[in-house]
A and B are shown apart, each in its own frame.
Chain A
Amino acid sequence: MSFLAQQIFWGAVLPAVITAALLVLLWRAWRREGVPSHGGTPIALALGYLFAHWRVVGVPMGFPPVDSNDWLFVTAALLAIWGIIEHFLASKPAQRDVGRLMLAATMSYLALRPLMGNVWQGASGALWIASLAAGWWFWWSLQARLADAQPGFLLPLILSMVAGGGGFILLWSNSSSLSQMSGAVAAVAGVLVPLSLWRRNGVVGAGGVAFLAGMLGFIWIEAIAFVPVPVWRVAAMALASLSPLLMLTPPLRHRSVWIAAALCVVVTAAVLIAVMVPTYRAYMASAGAYGY
């Protein structure tokens, strides 16, 4: 198997299989207890992701981690727990918002503080961390609102597209590991699409979106801070993921779900391509013959 094929197999295909198998197992196990099936979704997503992280980047060398990549691993584990909490707090949006804010602020501070005094001098460090944490939290909370309003297949599909397209943007911005971690999020999110179509009672749930959006947001703030990926590229990816908002607008609200969903997919793809093309051109202009 070629190097690229190995990376795709260990970083995307197998994590997707693990997530799918766990989803079905947890779904059945939790249903017997009378708990809705999507309670186990964040665990299944997290374990699929953590498997990919282990294979592609490796497990953290110690705790607390000193390395930005290792914080991704820790954050994924925390988001699995947070996803379950969000599941049980599904009817309490204010408490979920506060919890997300605390998590975003804490993880941003822990992961980004080595850059204070090193890359960001003086008060600008605190300002950067506060801004990135606030941006992450705001976008994450928007996704949670969308999940509450659109519990079907569309949100995981859009998140999978953005994570996948974002993976290429990160790859062409000089970060293969963050690119592959974004790809792993795309793979495990993608698993939810057919399962959501199969089980229409909401496989994703508040917990599933809490994990996916939380993870993607953290990958993006790390990309801005450590690679660094220009803020506008990440902002455009975040914008692309908000296309399901169109479903709530009057012209589309009474349309067929398939037509409205197709429009959201087209809008997301168009925004992603608009970012990917200049990123790819800039990469190729300086890459020469370098192909990793």
Chain B
Amino acid sequence: MKTVMKAFVASMLLWGISAAMPASAQTYQIDPVHSSLVFRVKHMDTAYVYGMFTSMKGTVVVDEANPARSSINIEVDANSVYTHNEQRDNHLRGPDFFNTRQFPTITFKSTQVRRINANTVQVRGDLTIRGVTRPITASVTLTGKGKNPQGKDIIGFETRFTIRRSEFGIRYGLPGLGNEVQVTLSIEAAR
């Protein structure tokens, strides 16, 4: 009888705690297999060269009732840079660009989320590349919601923004290799 009472009290406490939490805040884990981080930079002021990072992780907290409580944290493995040329990838990993032995990750941590319309939010946050942190602002669009083949809830976002690499200490090759880097980030996250 004593054990049954303890279980009852514990379950009531758990119910009370969960009821106190914001019901609409949902935490998703980024699915690296179905997420993409693509960038482009101009070569010799002529053509755009595209590259991507193939490995990332992080969390997305979505609060639809109160978007200001939403957040996103992303950690990208800088060594996973891929541009379809092994030598260029090795060059990008070196001290001329990402210096991955010293700075193995690229991170983004949101500081503010503001709703623009039903499917779009404006996200402000700190982007850290090569040990240098700069604030950036990007418009993020909800691209869809559903369930994956494993039955988990999934949600998708996409954003596109431009940074100046020199502001992050990546100054090598200017101006032959463009300063402006357009970044496209597409995230699928599951919970």
Contact = CB atoms under 8 A, between A and B. Distances in A.
A68 B87 contact: no
Contacts of B102: 67-68, 114-115, 118, 226
Residue among B86, B131, B172, B173 facing the most chain A CB atoms (10 A cut-off) = B172
B171 A227 contact: no
A283 B88 CA distance: 11
Given A66-B132, A68-B102, A115-B102, A175 B96 contact: yes
A178 interface: yes
B19 to A, nearest CB: 43
Contacts of B135: none
Contact of B171 (A6, A58, A118): A58
Contacts, number: 76
Given A57-B172, A66-B131, A118-B101, A227 B87 contact: no
A67 B94 contact: no
B95 A286 contact: no
A1 to B, nearest CB: 11
B104 A67 contact: no
A288 B85 contact: yes
A179 B19 CA distance: 62
Interface residues of A, number: 32
A50 to B, nearest CB: 15
Interface in B78-111: 85-88, 90-91, 93-96, 99, 101-104
Contacts of B85: 287-290
A225 B96 contact: no
B172 A61 contact: no
Residue among B95, B103, B172 facing the most chain A CB atoms (10 A cut-off) = B95
Given A68-B102, A118-B104, A226 B94 contact: yes
B124 interface: no
Contacts of A287: 85, 87
B101 A115 contact: yes
Contact of B99 (A3, A56, A67, A290): A67
Interface in B151-191: 166, 169, 171-173, 176
A178 to B, nearest CB: 6
B89 to A, nearest CB: 9
A20 to B, nearest CB: 27
A268 B40 CA distance: 43
A224 B94 CA distance: 11
Interface residues of B, number: 25
Contacts of A69: 95, 99
Interface in A235-275: none
B86 A176 contact: no
A6 B103 CA distance: 29
B44 interface: yes
Nearest to B130: A67
B95 A178 contact: yes
Contacts of B88: 290
Given A3-B44, A283-B87, A227 B169 contact: no
Contact of B169 (A61, A118, A288, A290): A61
A222 B103 CA distance: 15
A175 B87 contact: no
A109 to B, nearest CB: 14
B101 A177 contact: no
B132 A174 contact: no
Contact of B94 (A57, A114, A175, A289): A175
Interface in B54-99: 85-88, 90-91, 93-96, 99
Given A114-B102, A174-B96, A226-B95, 14 more contacts: A58-B166, A66-B169, A67-B131, A68-B99, A114-B103, A115-B101, A119-B101, A174-B91, A177-B95, A225-B101, A226-B99, A228-B101, A286-B86, A286-B87
Give me the 3 closest cross-chain CB pairs, A-B, nearest first: A58-B171, A3-B176, A287-B87
22 contacts: A6-B176, A57-B172, A58-B169, A61-B132, A61-B169, A66-B132, A67-B130, A68-B99, A68-B102, A114-B102, A114-B103, A174-B90, A174-B91, A174-B94, A176-B173, A225-B101, A226-B99, A226-B101, A283-B87, A287-B87, A289-B85, A290-B88
